[in-house]
Structures are given as C-alpha cells and as structure tokens.
A and B are shown apart, each in its own frame.
Chain A
Amino acid sequence: MKYSYFPGCSANTTGKSFTVSTSYVAEKIGVELVEIPDWNCCGTSAAALTSPELAVALPARSLAISERELPGLDVVAPCAGCYRSLKTSVAFARESEDNRTLIKKIINAPYEAKADVLTLLEVFATDEAREAIAAKVQRKLRCLKVACYYGCAMVRPADVCECDNVEDPMEMDDLMALIGAEPVDWAFKTECCGAAQQMTIPVQAKPMIERIFQNAQANGADCIVTSCPLCMLNLDMREAEINKARVARGEEPFDIPCYYFTELIGLAFGAGPDEVGIDIHFHPAKNLLLQRELDALELEEAENIARAEEERKKAEIAAKIAAKKAEKAAKEKAAQEAAAQAATQPEEGKEAAE
C-alpha cells in the first residue's frame, strides 16, 4: 500500500492534527505515503473562481511532478478541497488530447494524467487497509457516538468525485464501526461547512455551521468526525463563536468536540490523545474521550457480570436437567426391572404347576 502524497497547504498549519494522526495510522497499518517533491497549492475554489485555466493548471503541476518522480503511484490528497481540485484537473485532462495540450502548455511540463486521485478515506477503506486496521485495534472506542461528517468536496460534483452515494456516504461510518465507535444516522453528512465564505460572509455563513451541530446533537451524537482540515477548522474553531451567540440568545451552548477520523483510529490503536494531535483542538476534546473510555469499561464490567450470571443460570438449569434425567433414568430402570421380574414369575408358576 504505497501512495504519492499531496499534503496541501494546511498540512503543517491549521490541519496539523490531521497530518500527525494520518502518519500515525498509516505507519501502523503499513500504508506508505511518499510526499510529492516541491508540490504547490491546488488553488482550491479561489482558482476556480478566478480562471478555469488556472483551476486545472495549478493542481496539474504537482500531479505532473508526481507522474515523473513517483510513477505508477496514485495520489492521495487528505484535504477535501485539494482532493476536489486535483480530481477536477485529472478529469479535465482525461477528457481530450486538446485539454492535455492546454495543460502541458501552461505547466510547461509533460503530463498524461495517468494517476488517479484518492481521498484518505478511500485509501483506508480498501479491504487490505481495513483488515490491517482491525488487526491493530487495541481498544475499541465503544460508547462513543459519532456523527460522520464528509462535507461537500469529497462527494460533489458526483461525476468528478466518482461518488455513488452523495447524500449518504458510508466509508467513514464503516471505519468508525470497525474501531468500535457507534456512528449515528444523521442528515447533515454532506452539508457544506461554509468553506471560505466563513471569512467573506461570516454573518450569513455562520448558521451553516450551527445547523450541522444542531443536527448532530438532535441525532444523539457525542461528537462530529471529519475528514477535511477546512471543515474541521470551521466547526471546531467556530463552535466557541456560535456558543457565545447562542448564550446571548438564551439558548444552550453546544458541547460537541470534533475529531479527525484518523485521530480516533489512532486512539483505537492505543495512542494517547496528544500523540495524534487532539491536544491542539479548539473546543475541549479530551474529557469526552475519557468519559467514554470510562463508560466503555463500566459497560464491559456490566457485560462481564451479566455474562457470568448467564453462565451461572445456564449451569444451574443444566444441573437441574441432569438431575431430572438421572431421576427419570432410575425410574425407567426400576420399571424395567419390575417388568422383567413380572415376566419371569408366571414361567416359574407354570413350572411349579407341572
């Protein structure tokens, strides 16, 4: 499991925890991520809203370097924004020779769009990776109710992202179930976090985040699990602002930590929260994990007691059955003996009469 790796601009800044937890998990399960040398920004929606040519050319430079330096490897882009930009560029290049010629002219390098672009979820959801994950789990994250949040850029546009379940993707839910957490069914899996609009139109865009928290809470989630550094930043960092406004309106503040799915997998592998970057979250994120760890231990204890009680009852009933059977067998034996005796006695009488 070896891939070309496109970290993206947030990898060492606002998305640090994602990077740290990704390498932790990847190393444990034998996924090798080879960074594209001298990669550049994907341009994200800013490029698409500046020029269609720029939008396809910026990702193509990094993809062309990957094609040259890391031939044969598919490209993993953990950030959903990067993923969508890269994937869009590849789709454009594969459309026609004319498109490839245009791109090559702008990036001034050979490029054939040979490699596929993948999300980290796709990499971790292969059968091989899932088996490796299952084998490495040391502590199931039981009792932790998670709302898996995919955001938009990993699933839409559906034809570019080759996503067949835009409204209800399940890859992250399945991974969370694999490590023992409980994914909740909720309606905002692929609703938009507001992306850059949280900066450009903060007043109008804030409710987008608030509704995501609301829906997660209404469906019984303890926390939200993300797979994109911008979704994470918008949710985790801005929860405090949203709570401030809620309190001012006389509403209850949210207490919903957010995690990267890789952080939770890391925890299940036995990592401490600090090892996978949970110490630098904005909303307090450690107490919930401790509480659920305790809940899981208590649940296990209760289950053990229940199991022992079940065993005891089973043994008790089995003993009663054995006793009954023995009793029944003894009675039958006695009856048989009596019958045998009765059968021989007339013979004796007959003999005596003769």
Chain B
Amino acid sequence: MRSIDLSGISDASVQACEEIAKDAGVNLKDCYQCGKCTAGCPLADSMDLMPREVIRYLQLGAIDVVLDAKTPWICAQCVVCSSRCPQNVDICSAMRAVRLASKHAGKRPLPEADIFDDEFIANVRVHGVSNEQYLAAAYNLKSLHFMQDMGNATRMLKRGMVGVSMHNTKGRANVAALVDRALEADAARRAQSDEDKGGDE
C-alpha cells in the first residue's frame, strides 16, 4: 500500500467511491482491513492492488487509484473474498462495481478482460447463445493473441465439441432486443444517478 496525500482528494472523488460502494451494496465502514479477502484470493499474486487495498482506497476516497487498478479486471469473480469476510463485506461485488465504473469512465486497465466480455455479449446478442469457437476466434483477433488456444481448438474439433456450424436460439431477435433494452435501462439508471449528483452540488 502506497502512502497517499489525502489533502489532494476532492469531495467528488469521495462521492464517486461512495457511489461504487452503493452500487456494490457494500458499507465501506464495515471493513477493518483484516486482509482475509486477500489471503484467500487465488489471483492475489498477479494483482497490482490487493483486494483489501481496493477497499482501503475506496474508504479513503482515492477514486483514481481504484479506477486505474488492474485488480478488478484480474478478479475471476469466484467470491471467496466475500464468503470469508468476517464483516460480511461483499468484496467481490465491489470488484464488479469498480470494474463497471472504470469501464464507464473509458478506462481499460486490462484490455483482454474487457474485450472478452464485450465479445461474449456481442455473440449472445446475435445468436441468443454463446458459440464458443466464434467467441474464442473473435477474442483472439481483437486481443491480438492470434494463436492462443489454437492447439486446443484442433483438439476440440477432433472430439466433435466444436464445428463450423453456429447454434442459434430461435427467438434470437428477442434476445437482441432484450440485450438492447437492458443496456438502455442500465444507461438510464446511470444518467439518473449523474443527474442526482449534479442536483446535490
């Protein structure tokens, strides 16, 4: 954990952290920094901020540190942290909320994770189901990891697990409309929240 100059933290920054906590359903004051979340995290080794530190920076109102962190994008959403927290802080949910806030702020600390999820949803939007072979191909192209898992793709082909044919949900047009409506509702909620914030100032 780095030392930070708290005098440089604005009210807006504190408010942004509180918004994230609210979205995550977390009361930041519940965390007493025991570190159990970090101890159990299977990916902590690879993270730039420990899960405990993400919560700490949120407590301190250091929004930029949190939004630029790779940690929420490395998080596999396994929920070990939340399930072991003696204070019932849903750290995993906080990771998700930070990641979404970071995404909406136009940041992409770990492009691969963002590309994967975008391609996944794009695939589902068009076909109603996820076609793993096309998801993997689209991911490789967009992330520039062209050869990743290519050997495994051949092994899957041999086993008849994947092929060239696409699976589709009959009502895929409905699914596409559903995805659009969901994302509209999401955008409307965020716009409303921004408006409320503007009203406070």
Residue from the list A40, A45, A194 in contact with B128, Cβ < 8 A: A40
Residue from the list A39, A52, A204 in contact with B186, Cβ < 8 A: A52
- In the complex the two chains form, what is the Cα distance from A45 to B177 in whole Å? 20
Q: Is A271 an interface residue (CB 8 A)?
A: no
Nearest CB in chain A to that of B163: its residue:
A13
Query: Contact: B160 with A280, CB < 8 Å?
Result: yes
Interface residues of A in 23-58 (CB under 8 A from B): 38-41, 43-54, 57-58
Q: Is A270 an interface residue (CB 8 A)?
A: no
List the one stretch of B1-9, B11-19, B57-65, B168-176 in contact with chain A.
Answer: B168-176
- In the complex the two chains form, what is the Cα distance from A200 to B136 in whole Å? 10
Q: Is A152 an interface residue (CB 8 A)?
A: yes
Distance to closest chain B CB from A263 (angstroms): 15
Known: A9-B130, A58-B124, A58-B178. A282 touches B79 (CB 8 A): no
Contact size class for B?
A: 35 or more
Contact with B along A250-275 (1 / 0, CB 8 A): 00000000000000000000000000
Tell me how many residues of A have a C-beta within 8 Å of chain B. Answer: 55
Residue from the list B42, B79, B132, B136 in contact with A10, Cβ < 8 A: B132
Q: Which residues of B contact A53 (CB under 8 A)?
A: 182-183, 185-186, 189
Q: Is A108 an interface residue (CB 8 A)?
A: yes
Query: Contact: A156 with B43, CB < 8 Å?
Result: no
List the one stretch of A99-107, A296-304, A342-350 in contact with chain B.
Answer: A99-107
Contact with B along A96-121 (1 / 0, CB 8 A): 00000010011110000000000000
Q: Which residues of B contact A41 (CB under 8 A)?
A: 124, 128-130, 169, 175
- In the complex the two chains form, what is the Cα distance from A197 to B42 in whole Å? 12
Q: Which residues of A contact B182 (CB under 8 A)?
A: 51, 53-54, 57-58, 106
Q: Which residues of B contact A158 (CB under 8 A)?
A: 83
Q: Which residues of A contact B113 (CB under 8 A)?
A: 49, 197, 200-201
Q: Which residues of B contact A38 (CB under 8 A)?
A: 169-171
Q: Which of A106, A202, A282 has the most CB of B within 10 A?
A: A106
Residue from the list A40, A102, A197 in contact with B129, Cβ < 8 A: A40
Distance to closest chain B CB from A80 (angstroms): 11
Query: Contact: B43 with A49, CB < 8 Å?
Result: no
Distance to closest chain A CB from B106 (angstroms): 15
- In the complex the two chains form, what is the Cα distance from A299 to B78 in whole Å? 41
Query: Contact: B116 with A46, CB < 8 Å?
Result: yes
Query: Contact: B186 with A201, CB < 8 Å?
Result: no
Q: Which residues of A contact B170 (CB under 8 A)?
A: 38
Nearest first, the 5 A-B pairs at minimum CB distance are A192-B78, A204-B46, A46-B120, A156-B79, A51-B186
Would you give 6 A-B contacts (Cβ < 8 Å), ordered by A? Answer: A50-B121, A51-B186, A61-B175, A108-B174, A194-B76, A196-B120
* Chain B residues engaging chain A, CB cutoff 8 angstroms: 23, 42-43, 45-46, 74, 76-80, 82-83, 90, 92, 96, 99-100, 110, 112-113, 115-118, 120-121, 124, 128-133, 136, 139, 143, 148-149, 152, 155-156, 159-162, 167, 169-172, 174-175, 177-179, 181-183, 185-186, 189
* Chain A residues engaging chain B, CB cutoff 8 angstroms: 9-10, 12-14, 16, 38-41, 43-54, 57-58, 61, 102, 105-108, 152, 156-158, 166, 190-192, 194-197, 199-202, 204-205, 207-208, 211, 237-238, 280, 282
